[in-house]
Structure 1
Amino acid sequence: MSIISLIIKREFVAKVRNKSFIVMTFLSPLLFVAIIAFIAYLSSMKADTKEIAVHDESGLFVKEFTTKNKEDDAYKYIDLSTTAVSALKDSITKERYEGLLIIPQSNEISDLESKIQFVSNSSPSIVFIEQVQKTVANKITKINLYKANLDTLAIQNAQSKVNISLAKASGEQSVKGVNEIKIAIGGGFGYLIMMFIIIYGNMVMRSVIEEKTNRIIEIIISSVKPFQLMIGKIIGTSLAGILQFFIWAVIGLSIMFAASMFFGVNMGSATKMPPELMSEAQMQITNTAQLYITELWNLPIATILIGFVVYFIGGYFLYSSFYAAIGAAVDNQTDSQQFLIPIIMPLMLSVYVGFFSVINDPHGTVAVVFSMIPLTSPIVMLMRIPFGVPLWQIAISVTLLFATFFAVVWFAAKIYRVGILMYGKKPSWKELYRWLKYTG
C-alpha cells in the first residue's frame, strides 16, 4: 500500500508542478469569462438592416410588409411597385438591395399562393422565408374570409387558447418543464464526468507514453508491479484534476460575486415587494417560481450528489485504465488514435441515449439497460436519478461498474506489462489480444 501511495504522490506532485497545469488552472476561468462577455457583446450588437425591394402588382400586400418596418429592424421593405422588374433585378445583381419580392397581378387570389417569387444573389434564411410566407398567407386568409362574408373579428374571438394545469396524484400542484429541468441537472453532471474522463484520461495516457519514451518506465517497473503503477497513476492524476476543478469553482464563484457587487445586482429585491403593490401577473410569476423551487427541493438531491461522486470515481477509473493500457501499447499519441475511437464511442452513445431516451421514458427498457452497462452507466444513470430510480437498480449498476473496472485493470495490467517494454513497433488489435494471453 505504501508503494501505491508513493506513486500517487509522485503523479500528483508532477502534475501540479507542471507549468501548463498551473497556467491553465488560473487562466481557463478568465478565458471562459472573457468568451462569455465577448459573446454577450456580439449578441447585443445591432445587425445591419437589410433592405428588401417589394414589387407588388396586385397592390394587396405591400402595406403588410411596409408596416412591419416598425416591428422588425432586421429587414426594411421598400415599395418599388412602379419600377420595372428588370431594373430591380439589376439592382439585386449590383447588391443595392438584399432581395426582391415579386407579387404578380392575378384575377384569382388563390393563384398567388404559388406565383409569388423572391429573387436574391444568395439563398435567404429559412426564418425569413417563413415570415414572408406567413405574412402573405394571413392576408390571403383575411381576403378569403371577407369574400365568404365571414366575420373575421368573430372568428378571431372564437379561437381558444388552452392552458392545462398539472397536478400530482397526492393533490399537490405541479408545473410544466420539470422533466426538462431534471434532464438538465442529470445531463450537466454527466457532461462533467465525460469531460473529466476525456481531459484527464488523456493525461494518464500521455504520462505513460512520456515515461515509456524516456525509458524511465524500465527503472520504475523493476521495483513496482504494473497493477500498482497503473492504479497510482490513475488516482494521482484524478486528484490533480479534482484540485484543478475545485480551483476553477472557487475562481468562478468569486468572479460571479465580484460581478454582482460591481453591477449592483440584488437577487432578493423582487421578493421584498409588498404583496399589495404587486400586480396579478407578478403574483402569478412569484407563485410559479415558488412551485419550481418546491419541485427542485423534492428531487432526490442526496441521491444525485452521492451518485455523482460514485459514478464520477467509477467512470473515471474505468476509462483511465483503458487510457493507461493504450499509453503502454504505443510510442506516441499519433499511434493512439486508432485505439481512442472505441473509448470515445460509448461516451457519445451515453449522451445520445440520455437526451433522446431518458427524457422521453426514464424508466423504459432502453434507459434502464444502458444505465446498467458499465461503459454507459456513469452518464445515463445520472440522467435517470433525478426522475427517481429504485435503489436496487443503482446498487446493481454501481456493482457492475466497479467490477468491470477491476476486470479492465487486470486485463490492462497484462497489456501494460508487455507494452511498456515494446518500442518502435505500432501494435495492432491482434497483437493486443496476444499480449492478454501472455503469461510469462
Structure 2
Amino acid sequence: MNRLWVRLSLTFMAVVIIGFVVISVVSVQLIRISLDQSDTSRDEILPESVTAGLANLYHIYGDWRGVSIYLDMAKEAYPPLRDSQYALVASNGTLVAGQAPATFDIAESLPIVVDGQTAGALLVGVNENSPPPFRPFGIARGVGIEEFMLLVAFVGSVIGILFGVLMSRTMTTPLDDLAAAAQAIGKGDFQRQVKVSGTSEIRSLGESFNRMVDALRQAEILRRNLVADVAHELRTPITALQTSLYALVDDTYPVTKQEIAGLYEQTRMLSRLVNDLHELSLADARQLPLRKHRVDISTALEELVTPFRMVAETKDIDFDVVKTDSLPDIEADEARINQVLHNLLSNALRHTPEGGKITLTLSDYGSGVQIAVIDTGDGIPPEHLPHIFERFYRGDAGRSRDMGGTGLGLAVAKAIVEAHG
C-alpha cells in the first residue's frame, strides 16, 4: 500500500467509480423524469384531444353524426382506444358507437362537455394484452434502467481502472529507476545512470540526478587522488625525519644545531602542508572563514611587497609596482589577500633568474581591482597550464620539493579568490 503506483491506481479507481456512480444516479433520475413526462403526455394530453374533438363534432352537427369516422381516426393517435374495447354513450345512456359497456371492464370514463353541458362519455376498457407505452431505448418504467446503468458503470470502471494502473506504472517507473540508482550509488557504484524519460518534471529530475552522479564520481576520483597524494607527500618528510632521528639516537650523526635545524625545517614543511590541506577542506565545504572589511589595497600592498623588494635586490632582480591613480577600496579579507599575493610573489622570486624583472600591477576592474604578477622567468609550459591549480601538481616535482613547496599553494590561492566571489 505504500507503493506510489498503488496509491495512484487507487486514486484513479476512486475517481472513476465515484464519477460513474454520480453519472448513473443522475441519468436514472433524468430518464425517470422523461418517462413520467411521456406518460403524462399520453395519459392526459391525448385523451383531452380525443374528447375535445368529439365535443367539437357534436357542437357542429348537434348530434353524433360522423362520429364513427372520427373515432377510427382517433384510434391511431390514442393507442388505448385502438387496443381496447370502448363505448361512446350519449347523455341519456344510449350507445352511440363501440361495444356495450356491460361487455368489458371500464378503465377510463372521459366526459364530453359541449357548451357546459355533458353530451356523453367515452368509456375505454382494460386490455391486459396491449403493448406498453413507448420508452426510450426500449426500457420499461422501473424495469431495466438501474441494470443498464450498472452495466455501463461497471464496464466504464473496469476500463478506467486499467487505464489508471497503466498510467500509474508509466509515471512511477522512472522514479523506481531513480530509487534503484540511488541505492546503487549509496553502495559506491558511481557509474550508474538513469534513463531520462517520463513527464518534463521527471525528465528534469533524471537529468539532475545524472549530473549529480557525474559530480559525485568526479569528487570520488579527486578524493582518491587526494588521499594518494597526501600519503605520497607526507611519506618523504616523515621518512626523512625518521631516518635523521634514528641516526641521532644511534650516534651515527652528532647532535648539532645544523642537524636540529634540518629536522625543524622538515616539521615546518609538514605544518604548512597540514595547514594548506585544512584550508582547502574548508574551501571545499564553503566554510573558509573570511573577515571582510574595507581595504585600501594600494597601501596594503606597499606594506606587503617591502620584504619581497628587499629579497629581489639581493638577487639583482628588478621589482616594480605599477598602479593606476585613485584605486577604489575593496571589500576583502586583507590577511587572505596577502596570503594569495605572498604565494604568487614567492613563486615569481623562485623562478626569476638574476637580472630579471618582476612587475606587480594594480588596475581598476569594474567596481573592484585587478592584481597581476608578471615575471621574466621561464614561464609555465603550455601542457602544464590546465593543471597548475590541481593539488600537488608540479611541473618539476624535484625542484619544488627541494625548494620547500607543498604543491598546494596555487590551489589554496585559487580557493581564497573564489571564496571572495
Shorter-chain TM-score range: under 0.3
Q: Computing the radius of gyration over CA atoms, which structure comes out larger, 1 or 2?
A: 2
Which of the two has greater strand per residue?
Answer: 2
TM-score (norm 1): 0.19
Higher relative contact order (CA 8 A, sep 6+): 1
TM-score (norm 2): 0.20
